[in-house]
Amino acid sequence: MRFQKAQPPGAEWAFSICGDIGRPAHKTPGDGAVHTNDRNASSDFHIRRATENDATGILHCLRMAFEAYRNSYTPGAFHDTVLSQEAFQQRLSSMRILIALEGDNQVVGTVSCMLVNSDEGHLRGMAVLPEWQGRGIAEKLLQSAEAELASRKCSRITLDTTEPLQRAMRFYERNGYRASGKITDFFGMPLHGYVKELRD
């Protein structure tokens, strides 16, 4: 799957699913966000399923996207968000991990999805490298994960996020998710559930 990168107005978040944290990338200087200044960057990216060989790139993407937000999370929540090598292997064995690639090598974004039961899927672990934010990668990853779950006969998709991610929550809502009212504990932080009902 290959996409032309767009430069939409406003901001895009390297947002989180199941506790991961988001990072804004505005085009307006001086807002404290990470900006993209490389006008010679590749003009497209593509999305595919990850393999064990992608571990280094995925872990790097998670660390780079979320390091600035370490202090907003408990140590346990942050560690679970950015993953260890062992945790990555566990996720790879239990979930379908998708990655966005520049060309055929650099991982610039990722998201994971899995079946919870015969008609429900779950998303988590989305991240986009700071210098690649604002190019539509988060939206395409989300769409690809949803298509994967829909192809497996899911009629609803759930995800979770933490309180600091108000803009991420608005991102989900723009893409058809609504707060489910379910709140659980994520290493000492409230974890808010979201759900999206898929239509035939």
In this prediction, residue 13 carries a pLDDT of: 35
Q: Mean per-residue pLDDT for 18-29? A: 34
Q: Is 61 within the bounds of a domain?
A: yes
| Residue 110 scores a pLDDT above 70 | yes
The pTM of the full predicted model, rounded to 2 decimals, is 0.78
In this prediction, residue 200 carries a pLDDT of: 62
In this prediction, residue 111 carries a pLDDT of: 97
| Residue 158 scores a pLDDT above 70 | yes
Give ∠ CA 129-55-143 in degrees, rounded to 5: 55
| Residue 9 scores a pLDDT above 50 | no
Q: Is 82 within the bounds of a domain?
A: yes
Both tokens of 104, joined, read 């055929």
Is the model more confident about 12 or about 62?
62
In this prediction, residue 190 carries a pLDDT of: 95
Q: Is 33 within the bounds of a domain?
A: no
Q: Is 128 within the bounds of a domain?
A: yes
In this prediction, residue 53 carries a pLDDT of: 96
Q: Is 32 within the bounds of a domain?
A: no
Q: Is 180 within the bounds of a domain?
A: yes
Query: Over the stretch 164-181, which tens digit does the pLDDT of each residue have?
Result: 777 778 888 999 999 999
| Residue 24 scores a pLDDT above 70 | no
Q: Mean per-residue pLDDT for 1-21? A: 37
In this prediction, residue 26 carries a pLDDT of: 34
In this prediction, residue 107 carries a pLDDT of: 97
Query: Over the stretch 140-156, which tens digit does the pLDDT of each residue have?
Result: 999 999 999 999 999 99
In this prediction, residue 157 carries a pLDDT of: 98
Domain extent, residue 108, equals: 7-26+44-197
CA distance 53 to 5: 25
In this prediction, residue 1 carries a pLDDT of: 52
In this prediction, residue 171 carries a pLDDT of: 82
Query: What is the pLDDT confidence band of residue 44, given thresholds at 50, 70 and 90?
Result: confident
Q: Mean per-residue pLDDT for 65-86? A: 92
Q: Is 143 within the bounds of a domain?
A: yes
In this prediction, residue 68 carries a pLDDT of: 79
Residue 143 near residue 176, CB atoms below 8 Å: no
CATH number at residue 79: 3.40.630.30
Q: At what angle do helices 55-66 and 85-94 cross, to 10 degrees?
A: 110
Contacts 24+ apart (CB under 8 A), 112-115: 112/17, 112/145, 113/145, 113/148, 113/149, 115/149, 115/152, 115/154
In this prediction, residue 168 carries a pLDDT of: 78
Q: Is 104 within the bounds of a domain?
A: yes
Q: At what angle do helices 55-66 and 75-82 cross, to 10 degrees?
A: 140
Q: State the total domains in the chain.
A: 1
